[in-house]
Chain A
Amino acid sequence: MLCQNCKKQEATTHIKRVINGETTEKHLCTDCAKKQGYDYDGFFDDFSLSIPNIFSGFFSDTPLALAGLRQDRCATCGSSFDEIIRTGMVGCADCYERFYDRLLPSIQRIHGRAKHAGRIPYTVVDDKPKAAADEKPQAEPTTEEKIATLQAEMQKAIEAQNFEQAAVLRDNIKALKGEA
C-alpha cells in the first residue's frame, strides 16, 4: 500500500481513529508520519490493524448480485451489509443473525466450514442446556434447504415491504429451482 500523503513511498504507519462510531484510517510512510506528528519510530506489531484489511480483501469478490440488497440494514445498530464489507467490521451481535447467509461465505473462507467447538458462556448454557450438543454436524445444505431458507428470507422481505430485496431473492430461488 502506498502512502496516502505523498503517494510515493510504501505506507508503514497505519492510524485508525474511531470517533463517535465513525472510523477513519490513515496509511502513511515513515517520513510523512513523522511530519504529521505520528512519530512512533518504535516497533510493535500491528496485528490488530492488518486483520480488518485482510478481511475487507476477503469480501472484495462478493458477487455483484448482492448490490441490490444494499439498502437493508441491521435493526439494532443500523449497519448495512455494504458497510460491513467496506470496513471489514461487523456492527453488532445482531448483524451476524441479520446477514448470516451473506456473511457465511466470507467466514468460511477464513475459518473453513467449521462450527464453534469451544466454551459456551454460562448464561447460554442455562438458557439452552443442550442446544449446542444436539445440533448435528454441519453439512452442505441441500438445494431444497437452500430454497427453504431463501423463501423464508423473501417472506420476511415482503413483510418488511423490502420489495427490491424480495425480487432478488425470488430470482435466486428461481435459479436454484432450475438447478434441481
Chain B
Amino acid sequence: MKRYETPTSNGDIVLSTRVRLARNLKDYPFPARLGVEDREAVNNLVKDALLTDENRDSFDYIPMQTLTPVQAVSLAEKHLISPEFASDSAGRALILAKDEDVSIMLNEEDHVRIQVIYPGLALEDAYARAEAFDKALEQKAAIAFDERLGYLTQCPTNLGTGLRASVMLHLPALAQGGTMRRLSSTIAKLGLTIRGALGDGTRAVGDIFQLSNQVTLGISETAAIQNLNAIALQIIAQEKNARAALLKDDVFIDRIWRAYGILKSAHMLSCSEMTDLVSLVRLGAAEGILDIPLETLNRLLVEMQPATINVAEGRRCTAAERDVIRAKAVKDALA
C-alpha cells in the first residue's frame, strides 16, 4: 500500500507532509561541477552508506538512465523527485522506498537529498526518519560543513540545516473566502511560505497549497519543525471555521454536488478540470456531505496526472486519449 492511500491525522485538510535534508560530501565538488564518473562514485558511496543488510529489501536503487523520460516525469508528478531531476539523467540515481515514503535523490542540486513523505500531518515523525538516514550517511562519509554556515549546499538558500519541511494543505474554504493573499503575507513574516502546490504557479489548482519553511540558517531543526507545525495547526483551524461558514450556503453545497455529477458522468476530463472538481468533492467528503473515502480522492489527485497515466498505459498517449482514460478511471473510482 502506498503511503498516500492510508488514512491519517488531520487528513481532512492535510494531504501529506514532506521533509527534505540537503547534504554534500566534503571531498567532491557540488553536482554541477561534477563529471559523470565522479557522480557515480558519489552515488555508490551514498548507496553503500544508506542501504544495509537490514533495509536493502525495502528499497530500490535506480540509476536514472534506466528510466524512460515518462517514468521519470511520473515520479515527479508524485513529488518523489523534482522536475529538474526528471529532466536530466546523467550520473544521477534514486534510492526509493518500495512503499514510496522515502526518496533519496543522488546528484540532484546537491549530492544527497533525503526526502521523507508521510500522509497527513506528521512533521516530527518524518523528520526523525530523515535524520536517521542523515546519521547513517555521516558515519560513512565526510560531510561538507562549516561551523558558521552549517551544512554546505550548492545553492546558498539551503545553507544551515539544509532542512526544507512542507505540508500539503487542501484549503478550498480559505481560498473561496479570498483570504489566501493576506494569509500568505502573514506567513512570510514568520519565515515560512505558502503557495499553490499544483499548476504552473499562476493559480492554485484544486486549492491545494504547500506550506514550507524558508529560513534554514540560524534556526535549529527542532525549532523549524515546531514553528511549521504550529502554523499548520493554525491554518487548519482557520480552514475548519471557514468550511463551517461556507457549508451553510446552499449555493455552495450545490456546487459540490454538481462537481460530483460531472466527475461521475464526464466522458473526457483534463487534469486541471479534474483536480478542481475533485477539490470540491473532497471538501464534500471531508465534511460528511458525500460518502467517499478521502484516500480514493487523494489517489486520483496523484495517479491521474499525465505522465503517471502514460506509465500505467505503457505508452505515450495523446492529451485527448488521456482525458478519456482519466474520465473513465474517475468514474470507476466513484462508482
List chain A positions with a Cβ less than 8 A from chain B.
12, 15-21, 23, 38, 40-49, 51-52, 54-55, 76-79, 87-93, 96-97, 103, 106-107, 110-112, 114-124, 128, 131-132, 135, 138
Contact = CB atoms under 8 A, between A and B. Distances in A.
Contacts of A46: 83-84, 201
A43 B157 contact: no
B231 interface: no
Given A19-B88, A21-B33, A118 B163 contact: yes
9 contacts: A42-B308, A45-B198, A51-B157, A88-B155, A92-B144, A107-B149, A110-B157, A114-B219, A115-B148
Contact of B87 (A17, A52, A116, A120): A17
A97 B76 CA distance: 34
A38 B221 CA distance: 37
Interface residues of B, number: 71
A52 B84 CA distance: 12
Interface string B135-168: 1001100111111111111111101110100000
Interface string B224-238: 000000000000000
Contacts of A18: 31-32, 88, 90
B32 A42 contact: no
B150 A118 contact: yes
A78 to B, nearest CB: 8
Interface in B252-288: 271-272
Given A16-B87, A41-B319, A91-B30, A116 B306 contact: no
B221 A96 contact: no
A159 B83 CA distance: 46
Contacts of A54: 157
B128 to A, nearest CB: 13
B130 to A, nearest CB: 11
**From A45, A46, A91, A103, residue with most partner B Cβ within 10 Å:** A45
B211 interface: no
